[in-house]
Structure formats: structure tokens, C-alpha cells
Structure 1
Amino acid sequence: MTLLPPSRRADPRGRIVIAGILLALVLPLVAATPSPTPPADPERAAEYWISGAHVDTAWKTTRGAGVTIAVIDTGIAKGPQQFDGAVADGTDVSGIGSSDGRTPLGPLDSDHGSRVASLAAGRARPDGTGMIGVAPEAKLLSISLGFGTTAPVPFAKQVADAMVWAVDHGANVINLSFTTNTLEWDQSWDDAFLYAFDHDVVVVVAAGNRGSGTTMVGAPATIPGVLTVGGVDQRGVASRSASTQGITIAVSAPSEALLGVDANGTIETWNGTSGAAPIVAGIVALVRAAHPDMDADNVINQVIQTAHPAAQATSYPDPQYGYGLVDAAAAVSASLPPVTANPLGDLSEWIRLHRRAPAAQPAQPTRTPAAIPPLPQADTPTVVGSPLVPSPDSLLYGTLPLVALTVPGILIALGVTAAARRIRSARAHRTPKS
């Protein structure tokens, strides 16, 4: 602070008077202007999707107890309070993680799996406050993947192994918040995803984000039968950076200004369909908990048929919004006619049409072939001779008839020729008459 020169310093008594006058003028204004009251629970208030997707209304029926969500991702961290009592089991399929799948993997975003899990089924604080997942009473399975080239196990095999492990360890819902940015998928995924579908598991997949270079959905979001989730902002409009588009998108959920817990328990704000997918996975868990006898095909039908068509959608389903914006309360409470097949496609039929069919096995004979006796052996020659010397048969039937016909013919020809010469000679020596 710069001090004034001594000659220009103000009288302290004058300053007190002026300060009193200012306080007299300002205090009434302060008293008349209400100060904003911060929310009692700012983290819960920031979870706009809890009320926006009517999750809080669905909680009046169920909070997901009895359902298990498998998070196949970078691993769910052990430290955060949101996972106390939530993670039932886990494993690592990458070859570089811990055996329980609870060591976050990846040099760039090892917290990804924890954020995903917290949105799906994170627990509130003991007093009921703080960030909470969509299905806060569901169980979690932590299956850690190694993304990139650092894992000794190929990525396609990791995913296939993770799918089978999740099914074998009781998953009712599987969440996959990643994309390969390609339409095609490794053939080993055929059997792995069929294994999940055949065991009545709902597979929820993120559509991908334009902001990270995904302009169209890629596998596993392109696999028939999976529940692919697109992303919208707080207004319900398709996110320009935190979502993508494609005909396989089934429903849309919030993907901007999301909350998620990192490995040390810090609440972060993040964007992307990686977060929209676990919101829907949590809603699927609520439906499965409310309707324990409902199979996976009908659970999916509940979710997509009760979604609200987006105002900006141009078709139904729409390549950006799918069937619409997900509604947890409607999905839990609606009574719909049952379906007999997955409304999002049949992977087994796709495999039949697009994978090369195995070669047909040759038909097996139905009758015993008839036994044919072998031909008799040729007679052994009794006289050994040269093939150049005539045999009796060749002399009798070949040589003698040929000689009998040829010799008389030659003699007759010679006689005729001699007679003709004599006639010509006699004519040549005859003397003409005068």
C-alpha cells in the first residue's frame, strides 16, 4: 500500500465519521438483499440426472438390490467410500493388474473405471448425502482391462475373457464404456457376447464421443443385441462433443457435466458417453430388481419403449437419440406386452448371415454296399515264347487266309500285264498295206 505524504493525511476522527456514515447507508442495503443459500448437499444437487431421468421416482420402488453390474473397464479403486460394500468380486484379464481387479490400470486415465462404477452403483455417505449411483443397492464386479499396447494379453481376448468371467460370476448387467472406433469386431467376441445373451444378461455399451475422434459408433456398440447409449446435454439435446451417432443407438442419457469419483475419493466433473452408459446400466439394474422374473429381452424393451422421443429427433429410432431420452421411473413401472426376441437384434442370426459357414460334412451312407466277388485270375501261359514269333492261331486265322487271297491275285495281275504287252508289240510290227 502506498502511504500519503504527511501534509495530506486525513484526520483519524474524520475517517471514523465518514465510515459511520457509509455503514449507515450500506447496512440497510445488505439487510434488504437476501444472500444465496448454498445447497445442503452440493454433490447431490449437481447430479441433475437423478431427477431429470426420474431416477428418484424409481427409487420409491427399488434401488437395485439383488442385481449385479459388471464394470469391464480400468478397474474399480479400493479407497473411495462410494464403493464400501458395493464391490462383490473382481478379476484382472490383462495380465498386468491385481487378481481382484481393484488396481486401476492405464497411464492416461486409470480412474475411468472408478468414475463409471460410481455413476452406476456408488453408495452415498452413511448420513445419506454425497454423490450416489443410479442403483445404489446393486452389487458391482470389477474386471480390469489393459488398454493400449502395455498388456501382454491381446485386447480382443481380454474383452472376450472378461465377458465370460462376468457371466460366470453372476452379472445381470454388463457395462462397456469403451469403443474400438471400428464397425467390425474380433470373431472371438461372437461367442463371448452370445454367451452373455444366452445367460440372460443385458449388455450396455457407450456409443463413443466425437470429441475423442469417434464420428460414428464402433464395436462393441455395433454388435446386435447390445443396448447402445448416446449422450445428451442438460437440455436433452444431443451432445456435439460428448456423443456420436449411428443406427445402433438405442437410448440417450446425460453425457455432459457428469460427476464421478476417482481412485483417491475425489469427486470429478467429466463428459462422455462413458458416463451415459453406466447411468443406463443403473436404470437396467432398477428394472431387473423391480421385475426379477423379467428376461433380458423384455428388460431392454422396457427401457427403450418408455424412453421419451427427443424434440430434435428426425426419425424413430433416431441416429442420435435412438428411441429417446431414458426414463427410469417409466421403465420400472410400465406394463408392456411381452416380447419374444431382443428388439435390438439377434447376434446368432447375424453370425449365420455374415460369418463363413462351416463346410458341410459328407453324407454318411445309410445302406451297406453290396459285396462284389473279385474277377478270376487270368490263365497262366503254358508255353513261353517270343511275341515276335507267329502263334498257331495267328497262322491259321491271319497268315494263311492272307496268302490264299493275295498270291492268285498277284498271278492274275501279272498274266494280264503280259498279255497286254504282247498285243501292243504285235501291233507295232504289223506292215501297213499299199
Structure 2
Amino acid sequence: MPFQKYGARRRSLSALATLGAGLMAVGGIAPAAAAQDISSQQWYLKDMQADDMWKVSKGKGVTVAVIDTGVDASRVELRGRVLEGTDASAKATDPHNDPNGHGTNIAGLIGGSGEGGGIQGLAPEVKILPVKASLIDMQAESVGSVMAKAIRYSVDHGAKVLNISLGVTGLPAYFSKTQSAVNYALKKGALIFAGTGNGGDKENQSEYPAALPGVVGVGAIDRTGKVAKFSTTGDQVGLVAVGDKIPVRCKDSESVCMTHGTSDAAAITSASAALIWSKHPKWTNNQVLRVMMQTAAKPKTGDIPSSYLGYGSVRPRKVLLDGEGDPGPANTNPLLAREGATKPKPSESASKPAGDASEPPVSDEQAAKKPAAEAKASDDDGGNTTLWVALGAGVVVVVGAAVAFTVVRRRGGTMARP
């Protein structure tokens, strides 16, 4: 099925069964009139000083679970990097079969070798554990159940970093199994990064699992460091990373496409964690996350965490090249403890645009000017009796659900980041 603009189409449950993708792949994609060498177009690698970081760490020894639409292990840049994996749904399919292409691109952004002009991953020596999250039979199992199984499998099979570029909207209570799995993963010493979604310029609804306590919700910024207009905002945002104009393979795998979305931002963040963890293998998940939060480029004004930028944009070079960051206590989760949270600062004038794409210059006041940041909840949700699921890089699916879902815009005081 060709890639389409996010939100462009609706399909029935039978169509979902045919597609066999799952949850929501949070990204948009469009063909780029450019040469077929993808790695030469990955501008953000230079901005993040990847070549210098790779002299210190390439992610060796770290396994990253890609919970997504599958990973095509035959892609030249992924050969020898992809483990066996599984499909977490009831009607399991080959995790190395990715008819959608989304999961394969995400895996490439994390751990691709760049070989043959393919995608150059930010952490090119990690191992990729493909965990397919297909929801082929919605009546047989719940979204929350599939998410939970995917998370538990990932941790039980050696993944330290879990990348989830998928998400759905719904009532928090519906994801109790997923929350239990998240708690299990954190206890086992893993980190979970999930894209917050691409509805920031629309309904701006919270999506799961990014909105669950303990999951690091990742938003997207553009090359100038400003929050991307599509990036879903709110108290679920923990960190941000570049997620706009990212070159990947088109679905036909022969062309280069430019993608955008918090899917890509989550992948960059997961790869950043892998680089740091590989350099400091004795650090716990809490310590790796703590230094990521400490060294992130902070909003210039406003409170931290910011509803738009969280604790800031990831800068692994500050840890690997500059030696910054205090790992601190091993057993305290800095996200749940709200370490580094501050009160609003006096308004300041905006700083000049950042030359480093991982250093956002914007304040909360500037970010608030983005379209629909305070959009009202949409009535286009089937009377709260449908579950909106987006597939791949742009197809929106409306699936009849056995449980009623409502719009969730902000999380309550029991959530991780009020």
C-alpha cells in the first residue's frame, strides 16, 4: 500500500486484518527528488557530531528492541544486526517480514550501517531485536495486551533500550496491562522511549504508551531546534529529538523519501541512549536517563519540564565527548522523581537559532505559537466508540472497538510528569 499523508484515509477492521500492521506508526513520509544514497542526506548526523562520537562509542553491546511493524533483516544496512525476534500478537507472523516498511526504517535510523548507500544509524553497532506489534484480530486481544507482551518479550530477551514508535489514544485504565509491563521493564533495568504522536497541530491527544508513567515520551524538533508543529505536546513529553526532514527508504525500497514524525525522534533518542550505555555499561537505566536529562538542551524560558520540549533535546555528545552528566543514584528514576524540574523563569528574548539541531533555542512562549497547541478535543472520534489507529507512514484506520474510548488531553497528578 503506498504511503499517504497522515490522516488521509480510514479503513475497516477487515482492512486492518489485511494490512496486518499495528497500533500507530507515528510519522509522515513523502518522496524526495534526490540521489539514492540515503546516508549522504542525513544532515542531523553532522549536526550531532556523530563522527566524533563514534570514536568513543557506536553502541556495541547494547540490544535495542524495535517494537513496530517488523524489521526486514535483508536490507543491506541491517544485515548481521537483526536478531530473531517475535510477533507479539495472537496471529503471529514473521517479525522479519515488514510489508509496511516503517519498522525497518526505524531500525535503520537506530542501528543501520550505511552500507550500500543505505540508512546510517546513530548507533551502528547495536543489535536490533524486532518485536512486531500486529493487531490483526482486534476482537481476540486488546491493544494494551499486545503492547504488554511486546514489552515483556523485549526485556526477557536482552533488550536494554525499547523503542516504540507506535501509539494509540484511549482511557488510561485500558492500558493497565501495558503499565504493568512498563513497571516490569523498569525493574529489570530497561529504558522505554515512545513517540508522543503527530497530532500537535490537530487534536493534540495524548497517546499510549508514551503517556504512561515510566515511559519517556519523545517529541520532535526541526533542524532549527524549534518544536515541530505536528509534534503532540503535553505533560507526557520527556525529551525531544530531531524528527523532521529525515531521509529514509520509500516503501518500494528503491527510492529515498523524506519523513517526519515523533517516530524518527524516538529512534534518535533510543540510539542516543545506546551510545551512552555502551560507553558506560555499568550504569543503570536510571543513570543513563539521568545524564540524558541533565545534558539535554533546555528551553530558554518557562518551566521544566516543558509541555513542548520536556527536559530538552538530546545531546549524547555532551556525555561522550565533553564528559558531562552526573549519573547519580542507581535506583532512583529521575523522570518519576521529576529531577531538574523548575518553576517558570522570567520571560526572556529568544536566543539566536541553534547551529546544532540538538539544541532548541525556543521558549515555551514561542512554542505556544505553533498551530493548534491548545486545540479543542475533536468530535471526530465516532462518538467515543472507536479506536483511532494510524498505520505506517500515513494511513489512519478507524476500528470498531468493544470498549469505548474518550479523548485524553492531559494526565492527572498520578502520572509521571504533571
TM bracket, shorter-chain basis? 0.5 to 0.7
| Larger-Rg structure | 1
User: Alpha-carbon deviation of 1:345?
Assistant: 1.0
Aligned with 1:91 (options 86, 91, 96): 86
Aligned length: 303
Aligned with 2:229 (options 233, 237, 240): 240
Bigger mean CA offset, 277-286 vs 148-157 = 148-157
Aligned with 1:102 (options 90, 96, 102): 96
What is aligned with 2:163? Answer: 175
**1:202 to 2:196 alignment:** no
What is aligned with 1:279? Answer: 268
CA distance in 2, matches of 1:40, 1:178: 29
Q: State the SS of the aligned residue for 1:321.
A: coil
**1:345 to 2:336 alignment:** yes
Aligned with 2:292 (options 287, 303, 316): 303
User: Alpha-carbon deviation of 1:268?
Assistant: 2.4
CA distance in 2, matches of 1:210, 1:158: 23
Indicate if the aligned counterparts of 1:183 and 1:217 stay in contact, CA closer than 8 A.
no
CA distance in 1, matches of 2:182, 2:81: 25
**1:316 to 2:307 alignment:** no
User: Alpha-carbon deviation of 1:116?
Assistant: 1.1
Q: State the SS of the aligned residue for 2:85.
A: strand
Distance 1:55 1:286, change over 3 A: same
Segments of 5+ residues of structure 1 without an aligned counterpart are: 1-38, 348-352, 356-434
Aligned with 2:241 (options 253, 261, 266): 253
User: Alpha-carbon deviation of 1:191?
Assistant: 2.0
TM-score by length of 1: 0.65
What is aligned with 1:371? Answer: none
**1:67 to 2:78 alignment:** no
User: Alpha-carbon deviation of 1:64?
Assistant: 0.4
Q: State the SS of the aligned residue for 2:38.
A: helix
Cα distance per residue 1:392-432 (max 9 Å; x no partner): xxxxxxxxxxxxxxxxxxxxxxxxxxxxxxxxxxxxxxxxx
Report percent identity of matched pairs: 28
What is aligned with 1:289? Answer: 278
**1:153 to 2:141 alignment:** yes
Aligned amino acid, residue 274 of structure 2? A
Distance 1:282 1:97, change over 3 A: same
What is aligned with 2:105? Answer: 115
Indicate if the aligned counterparts of 2:160 and 2:190 stay in contact, CA closer than 8 A.
yes
User: Alpha-carbon deviation of 1:263?
Assistant: 6.0
CA distance in 1, matches of 2:280, 2:86: 29
**1:219 to 2:208 alignment:** yes
Indicate if the aligned counterparts of 1:183 and 1:222 stay in contact, CA closer than 8 A.
no
CA distance in 2, matches of 1:215, 1:40: 35
Indicate if the aligned counterparts of 2:113 and 2:120 stay in contact, CA closer than 8 A.
yes
Indicate if the aligned counterparts of 2:291 and 2:327 stay in contact, CA closer than 8 A.
no
Indicate if the aligned counterparts of 1:233 and 1:239 stay in contact, CA closer than 8 A.
yes
Segments of 5+ residues of structure 2 without an aligned counterpart are: 1-33, 339-412
What is aligned with 2:386? Answer: none
Q: State the SS of the aligned residue for 1:205.
A: strand
CA distance in 1, matches of 2:262, 2:253: 22
User: Alpha-carbon deviation of 1:62?
Assistant: 0.6
Map of 1:338-377 to 2, 5 A cutoff? 338-339=328-329, 340-345=331-336
What is aligned with 1:56? Answer: 51
CA distance in 2, matches of 1:151, 1:134: 38
Q: State the SS of the aligned residue for 2:84.
A: strand
User: Alpha-carbon deviation of 1:335?
Assistant: 4.0
Distance 1:150 1:262, change over 3 A: farther
CA distance in 1, matches of 2:305, 2:134: 34
Aligned amino acid, residue 186 of structure 1? F
Indicate if the aligned counterparts of 1:114 and 1:263 stay in contact, CA closer than 8 A.
no
Distance 1:301 1:175, change over 3 A: same
Q: State the SS of the aligned residue for 2:265.
A: helix
User: Alpha-carbon deviation of 1:341?
Assistant: 0.8
CA distance in 1, matches of 2:35, 2:88: 42
Bigger mean CA offset, 53-62 vs 291-300 = 53-62
Distance 1:337 1:96, change over 3 A: closer
Aligned with 2:41 (options 32, 42, 46): 46
Larger proportion of helix: 1
CA distance in 2, matches of 1:273, 1:279: 10
Distance 1:260 1:284, change over 3 A: same
Indicate if the aligned counterparts of 2:179 and 2:213 stay in contact, CA closer than 8 A.
no
Indicate if the aligned counterparts of 1:95 and 1:151 stay in contact, CA closer than 8 A.
no
TM-score by length of 2: 0.67
